Amino acid sequence: MHLYTGSRCARFFALVVLAIAWAPSLSATGPVAECRAEHSRDSPEYVRCLEAALEATDRNSADQAGHTAAEPVPEPRPAGMGAEQVRDAEDAELSVRIVSTTYSSRGLGTFRLANGQVWRETTASPTRKHLDQGKPYTARIVRGRMGGYRMHVDGVRWMKTVERIE
Protein backbone atom coordinates (compact mmCIF):
# COMPACT_ATOMS: atom_id res chain seq x y z
CA MET A 1 0.00 0.00 0.00
CA HIS A 2 1.38 3.39 -0.96
CA LEU A 3 0.54 6.42 1.12
CA TYR A 4 0.46 9.86 -0.47
CA THR A 5 2.01 12.66 1.54
CA GLY A 6 2.82 16.30 1.00
CA SER A 7 2.99 17.51 -2.58
CA ARG A 8 2.32 14.01 -3.94
CA CYS A 9 -1.03 14.09 -2.21
CA ALA A 10 -1.79 17.48 -3.72
CA ARG A 11 -0.85 16.22 -7.21
CA PHE A 12 -2.96 13.11 -6.75
CA PHE A 13 -5.91 15.23 -5.60
CA ALA A 14 -5.45 17.56 -8.58
CA LEU A 15 -5.48 14.60 -10.97
CA VAL A 16 -8.68 13.29 -9.35
CA VAL A 17 -10.28 16.72 -9.74
CA LEU A 18 -9.18 16.82 -13.39
CA ALA A 19 -10.61 13.36 -13.98
CA ILE A 20 -13.93 14.45 -12.50
CA ALA A 21 -13.89 17.68 -14.50
CA TRP A 22 -13.12 15.75 -17.69
CA ALA A 23 -15.74 13.07 -17.00
CA PRO A 24 -18.13 14.47 -19.64
CA SER A 25 -15.33 14.30 -22.22
CA LEU A 26 -14.65 10.61 -21.53
CA SER A 27 -16.90 9.67 -24.41
CA ALA A 28 -15.41 7.79 -27.33
CA THR A 29 -14.58 11.07 -29.09
CA GLY A 30 -13.21 13.13 -26.18
CA PRO A 31 -9.58 14.22 -25.80
CA VAL A 32 -8.91 11.77 -22.94
CA ALA A 33 -10.26 8.84 -24.97
CA GLU A 34 -8.22 9.96 -28.00
CA CYS A 35 -5.02 10.13 -25.91
CA ARG A 36 -5.77 6.74 -24.38
CA ALA A 37 -6.38 5.19 -27.82
CA GLU A 38 -3.25 6.67 -29.37
CA HIS A 39 -0.77 6.26 -26.48
CA SER A 40 -2.09 3.50 -24.22
CA ARG A 41 1.24 1.65 -24.24
CA ASP A 42 3.56 4.66 -23.95
CA SER A 43 3.14 6.43 -20.59
CA PRO A 44 5.31 9.51 -21.32
CA GLU A 45 3.49 10.15 -24.61
CA TYR A 46 0.12 9.59 -22.92
CA VAL A 47 0.98 12.18 -20.24
CA ARG A 48 2.18 14.66 -22.90
CA CYS A 49 -1.03 14.12 -24.88
CA LEU A 50 -3.17 14.74 -21.77
CA GLU A 51 -1.20 17.88 -20.92
CA ALA A 52 -1.63 19.15 -24.50
CA ALA A 53 -5.39 18.49 -24.25
CA LEU A 54 -5.49 20.36 -20.94
CA GLU A 55 -3.56 23.27 -22.48
CA ALA A 56 -5.97 23.33 -25.44
CA THR A 57 -8.88 23.40 -22.98
CA ASP A 58 -7.24 26.36 -21.22
CA ARG A 59 -6.83 28.15 -24.56
CA ASN A 60 -10.45 27.46 -25.48
CA SER A 61 -11.58 28.86 -22.12
CA ALA A 62 -9.51 32.01 -22.73
CA ASP A 63 -11.00 32.32 -26.24
CA GLN A 64 -14.51 32.04 -24.84
CA ALA A 65 -13.69 34.74 -22.32
CA GLY A 66 -13.05 37.15 -25.19
CA HIS A 67 -9.35 36.61 -25.82
CA THR A 68 -8.07 35.55 -29.24
CA ALA A 69 -5.06 33.50 -30.26
CA ALA A 70 -3.46 36.65 -31.72
CA GLU A 71 -3.81 38.33 -28.36
CA PRO A 72 -2.18 36.05 -25.75
CA VAL A 73 -3.46 36.22 -22.21
CA PRO A 74 -0.62 37.48 -20.01
CA GLU A 75 -0.02 35.27 -17.02
CA PRO A 76 0.44 37.18 -13.80
CA ARG A 77 3.90 36.81 -12.28
CA PRO A 78 3.78 35.72 -8.67
CA ALA A 79 5.25 37.99 -6.05
CA GLY A 80 6.32 37.39 -2.48
CA MET A 81 7.66 34.23 -0.89
CA GLY A 82 8.51 31.51 -3.41
CA ALA A 83 8.35 33.82 -6.46
CA GLU A 84 12.03 33.12 -7.18
CA GLN A 85 11.11 29.51 -8.01
CA VAL A 86 8.92 30.52 -10.95
CA ARG A 87 10.68 29.85 -14.23
CA ASP A 88 10.00 31.01 -17.76
CA ALA A 89 8.73 28.68 -20.49
CA GLU A 90 12.16 28.34 -22.14
CA ASP A 91 13.31 26.66 -18.93
CA ALA A 92 10.65 23.96 -19.21
CA GLU A 93 12.92 21.23 -20.67
CA LEU A 94 16.57 20.39 -20.15
CA SER A 95 18.67 17.86 -22.11
CA VAL A 96 21.18 16.20 -19.81
CA ARG A 97 23.84 13.51 -19.67
CA ILE A 98 23.74 11.16 -16.68
CA VAL A 99 27.28 10.19 -15.68
CA SER A 100 26.57 8.27 -12.47
CA THR A 101 23.60 6.44 -10.98
CA THR A 102 23.10 5.03 -7.48
CA TYR A 103 20.08 3.56 -5.71
CA SER A 104 19.13 3.80 -2.04
CA SER A 105 17.87 0.89 0.03
CA ARG A 106 14.34 2.19 -0.65
CA GLY A 107 14.93 1.93 -4.41
CA LEU A 108 15.16 5.68 -5.07
CA GLY A 109 17.65 6.52 -7.80
CA THR A 110 20.13 9.38 -7.50
CA PHE A 111 21.48 10.71 -10.79
CA ARG A 112 24.65 12.82 -11.09
CA LEU A 113 24.73 14.81 -14.32
CA ALA A 114 27.66 15.96 -16.44
CA ASN A 115 26.84 19.60 -15.59
CA GLY A 116 27.27 18.90 -11.83
CA GLN A 117 23.58 18.78 -10.92
CA VAL A 118 22.26 15.91 -8.82
CA TRP A 119 18.65 14.72 -9.15
CA ARG A 120 16.81 12.09 -7.08
CA GLU A 121 13.69 10.08 -7.81
CA THR A 122 10.69 11.07 -5.71
CA THR A 123 8.95 7.76 -6.38
CA ALA A 124 10.85 4.48 -6.57
CA SER A 125 10.76 2.78 -9.94
CA PRO A 126 10.57 -1.01 -10.22
CA THR A 127 13.92 -2.79 -9.99
CA ARG A 128 13.63 -3.94 -13.61
CA LYS A 129 13.46 -0.26 -14.65
CA HIS A 130 16.63 0.80 -12.76
CA LEU A 131 19.47 2.26 -14.79
CA ASP A 132 22.79 0.43 -14.95
CA GLN A 133 25.05 2.05 -12.37
CA GLY A 134 28.24 2.13 -14.47
CA LYS A 135 26.64 3.24 -17.74
CA PRO A 136 26.22 6.85 -18.95
CA TYR A 137 22.81 7.89 -20.32
CA THR A 138 21.29 10.85 -22.11
CA ALA A 139 17.94 12.13 -20.89
CA ARG A 140 15.49 15.01 -20.83
CA ILE A 141 14.19 16.60 -17.64
CA VAL A 142 10.76 18.14 -18.19
CA ARG A 143 8.86 20.38 -15.82
CA GLY A 144 5.34 19.04 -15.32
CA ARG A 145 2.31 21.22 -15.85
CA MET A 146 1.10 20.52 -12.33
CA GLY A 147 4.47 20.83 -10.64
CA GLY A 148 7.42 18.54 -10.18
CA TYR A 149 9.82 17.23 -12.79
CA ARG A 150 9.97 14.13 -14.94
CA MET A 151 13.06 12.50 -16.37
CA HIS A 152 12.80 10.69 -19.70
CA VAL A 153 15.92 8.56 -20.25
CA ASP A 154 16.73 7.76 -23.88
CA GLY A 155 16.15 4.08 -24.58
CA VAL A 156 14.19 3.47 -21.36
CA ARG A 157 10.41 3.19 -21.54
CA TRP A 158 9.82 4.45 -18.01
CA MET A 159 9.30 8.01 -16.87
CA LYS A 160 11.01 8.88 -13.59
CA THR A 161 9.64 11.58 -11.30
CA VAL A 162 12.59 13.51 -9.93
CA GLU A 163 13.62 16.48 -7.80
CA ARG A 164 16.86 18.41 -7.86
CA ILE A 165 18.94 18.01 -4.69
CA GLU A 166 22.20 19.70 -5.77
- Each domain of the chain, given as residue ranges in start order, spans 6-64, 89-164
CA 97 from chain centre, in angstroms, equals 19
Return the pLDDT at 1: 47
The confidence band for 32, taking pLDDT boundaries of 50, 70 and 90, is confident
Q: What is this structure's pTM?
A: 0.48
- pLDDT tens-place string over residues 91-149: 578 899 999 999 999 999 999 999 999 999 999 888 888 999 889 999 999 988 777 89
Of 166 and 73, the one with more pLDDT: 166
Give the long-range contacts of residues 30-39, CB within 8 A, separation 24 or more.
31/56, 31/57
Average pLDDT over every residue of 36-61: 80
CATH architecture of 89-164: Beta Barrel (2.40)
Per-residue confidence (pLDDT) for residue 151, from 0 to 100: 93
More reliable by pLDDT, 2 or 99: 99
Name the nearest CA neighbour of 123 among 6, 8, 1, 10: 8
Q: Give the CB-side neighbour count of residue 117, counting CA atoms within 13 A.
A: 12
Q: Which residues contact 139 (CB under 8 A, 6 or more apart)?
A: 95, 96, 97, 98, 111, 151, 152, 153, 154
- Name the average pLDDT for the chain: 78
Angle, nearest 10°, between helix axes 43-64 and 31-39? 160
Q: What is the rounded CA–CA span in Å between residue 11 and residue 82? A: 18
